[in-house]
Structures are given as structure tokens and as C-alpha cells.
Amino acid sequence: MSLHENFWCVIPAGGVGSRLWPLSRAEAPKFLLDLTDSGESLLKTTWNRLLPLASPDRIMVVTGMSHRDSVCEQLPDLLRDNLALEPSPKDSSAAIGLAAALILRRDPDAIIGSFAADHVIRGSVLFERAIRTAVQAAESGSIVTVGIRPTHPATGFGYIKAGEPRTDIATFDVYNVRKFVEKPSRATASKYLSRGDSLWNAGMFISRADVLLAQMAESEPELVAGINKIADAWGTPELARVREQVWPTLKKIAIDYSVAEPAARAGKMLCVAAHFEWDDVGDFASVANLLTRGRAKDLAVLGSQARVLSESSSGIVVAQQDRLVTVVGMQDIVVVDTPDALLVTNKAHAQDVKQLVNRLRDSETEVL
């Protein structure tokens, strides 16, 4: 049973996740990884999470052309018509905008929800409840985001400052969005937590497809014009030519800036305050925390072949190889052992892996 006859899910599957190098690679981006030791990629888990909300004929995946085969392998039930391929990465506005434009041409009353392919969510009942509420709120023409009730003063997430409750829409959990706040300092995050008026921005957007595109067009008219050109050519012999011509000209911009923030300033943004566990798994510190379920003194191990022996250590070992990994006296350590590259860092420096990857890119190494 689907949630709503006009509800469509969009899964933008982009982003390498360079802070997860050397596990993540250009050809093994984060959404194709299994970061929770579940035996499934994050993409597959995302797909499965959405199935109670929409049947496969209304789940669209947007991904890079180079990932087509991997995505189809992961998602055998994905319909060919529901796979939108990007010639090059153009950030989330282009990806979600294109999906919205394609869906709109099939279903003028479509409500779309976009859900990142590489986040981790626990608590499917709470997730479904939140999305049902969001769809209900989106029916009236609002753009709706989902905010997670914070459990600690996280500095790695963006925040949503909630305004008045919208009991006219739902008895519980729907609020006006006052503003979005980028990753805050520890002090600011603590203040948010104690005030209790802010939510983690889970990066989900639910709205009518036409409303989303209209909002995007207000701030980025050329981008939406380009998206519409491609969507008009979709399924015709003209597609390749049009896409080749238009796609490279599209502006790279996150949907947060093209849609969410302007809509919030205009008072058109709502949020659903949700209670499920959510993590965008931005770095190995997050992976470790997820696997140890927050027990900071544990050493998490990821990898079915892993043989790990440790003494007085905590953190995470990711072992892709069948060899012995030993860790002695290291707190919050991060060890990632892959066939052609090894990373040793710690949780405090997990974000700095991005700089390392940038250096590797500059050196044109083969291990990216």
C-alpha cells in the first residue's frame, strides 16, 4: 500500500563522500557502500525504506552515467523510465529539479519527496509517520522539510529553527520554518539544544513538483529553464543532443540555496519534527558512532573479512582485506584497510580526510 496516489520518491544518488576515502572511491561512491554492516548498500537500504511509501513505479533515482550499472545491479526493481542519468555532477538543484520536471510531465499533481541515497535512518515506523505528515502538509502547496529532534550538540549538521506550530495542518509535529542555520560551533549547537527550538536538517524535501520548480525558478530561472528543456526532450530522439548541449551549462547549486532558504525567507517552508534516528554519515567518526551505537569506548569493526585484534583501543577499523589488523593503545582511532590504500587517522581528524583526498587528486594518484 502506497501512502498517497500522487506521491513520488526521488533518490538523488550523487556525491562520492570523499571524507570516507579510501573506502569511498569515484567508482565506489558512498551510496554504494555498506556502512552499517547490514549487508546492503546505503542506496539499497534507502530504496527499501521508501517502498512502504511508494511503489517502484513511483520511485525515481538520479545518478551519474558512470554509476548506471552499479545502481541497476543494486536496485533490480528500479524501472528503466525511473532512472535519470546525469552526464556530470551538478549538485542537488539540478538532480532534484530534473526529477521534479520529469515526474510533473507524467503526473501534474505529483507530490515528490527527495531522500538522499547515502544517509542512515533507524526507526522505520517513525520515518514513515514523519513522511506521511510531510506529504499531508505539502498537499496545500507548502514546501516541507524534515527535522530531526537533536540528541546532542552536533556540529556536523545543519539546523532548522522552528517557528509556530501549524495545528491547522496536523495536530502534531508540523511547524513553520524560521530559518536554516549552517553547521554551528559547539557553543551555538549547545545553545540550540538547551533552547529546544531547533532540529537537525535531514536534507529531505517534500512538496508538489510544480511548487518546487516554481520556487526554484524564482531564484534560479536559467537553471529551471535548462531543466525543462531536457525534460521536454526526455524520451525523444532529441534527448542526447539537448542534454549534451544544456547539461554543461546548468548551475551547480545545492537545493538548500535555490529552494529551501528562499522559501523559508518567504514564509513558505514548513518542517516536520521527527523522532527517528538519522545520520548523514559524513565521516568515519560518524560510521564509528553508528556501529558502536554511541559507546565511545568500543572499537567498531566494519568488514565481513575483518580479523581484528585490539588492546585498550576505541574507534573504528574498516577492513576490506583478509589479513590481521592489530591496534594497541589507540583511543578514537580510525583505520581503513583497503587493497590499495591504507588510512590511519582519528575521530577528531576524520573531517580532514577531505583535504587529503584533495591532495591526492592534485597528485593524480590512481587510488581515488
Footprint on this chain of a copy of itself (rule: CB under 8 A): 22, 309, 311-312, 323-330, 333, 335, 337, 339-346, 348-349, 352-353, 355-356, 359-360, 363, 365, 367
Cβ distance to a copy of itself smaller for residue 209 or 357: 357
Residue written as grid cell 506550530: 165
Candidates 103, 88, 70; CA nearest to 231 is: 103
Cβ distance to a copy of itself smaller for residue 124 or 326: 326
Cβ distance to a copy of itself smaller for residue 293 or 361: 361
What span, in angstroms and rounded, lies between the C-alpha atoms of 84 and 200? 29
Q: How far is the CB of 35 from a copy of itself (least distance, A)?
A: 19
Q: How far is the CB of 351 from a copy of itself (least distance, A)?
A: 10
Terminal CA-CA length for the chain = 42
The 10 Å CB-count burial string (b at 16+, else e) for 106-128 is: eeeebbbbbbbbbbbbeeeeebb
Cβ distance to a copy of itself smaller for residue 180 or 284: 284
Put residue 320 in one of left, alpha, beta given phi > 0 → left and psi -120 to 50 → alpha. alpha
Q: How far is the CB of 308 from a copy of itself (least distance, A)?
A: 10
Q: How far is the CB of 210 from a copy of itself (least distance, A)?
A: 46
Rounded to an integer, what is the distance from CA 344 to the centroid of its chain? Answer: 26
Cβ distance to a copy of itself smaller for residue 162 or 318: 318
Q: Cα torsion at 141, 146, 149, 155 (round to 10°)?
A: -120
Query: Which helix H or strand E contains 182, and what residues bound it?
Result: none
Residue 194 backbone dihedrals phi, psi, to 5 degrees: -70, -35
Cβ distance to a copy of itself smaller for residue 256 or 337: 337
- C-alpha cell of 56? 517502484
Q: How far is the CB of 87 from a copy of itself (least distance, A)?
A: 30
Cβ distance to a copy of itself smaller for residue 113 or 303: 303
Q: How far is the CB of 297 from a copy of itself (least distance, A)?
A: 16
**CB-count exposure of residue 213 (10 Å: 0-12, 13-18, 19+):** buried
Q: How far is the CB of 329 from a copy of itself (least distance, A)?
A: 3
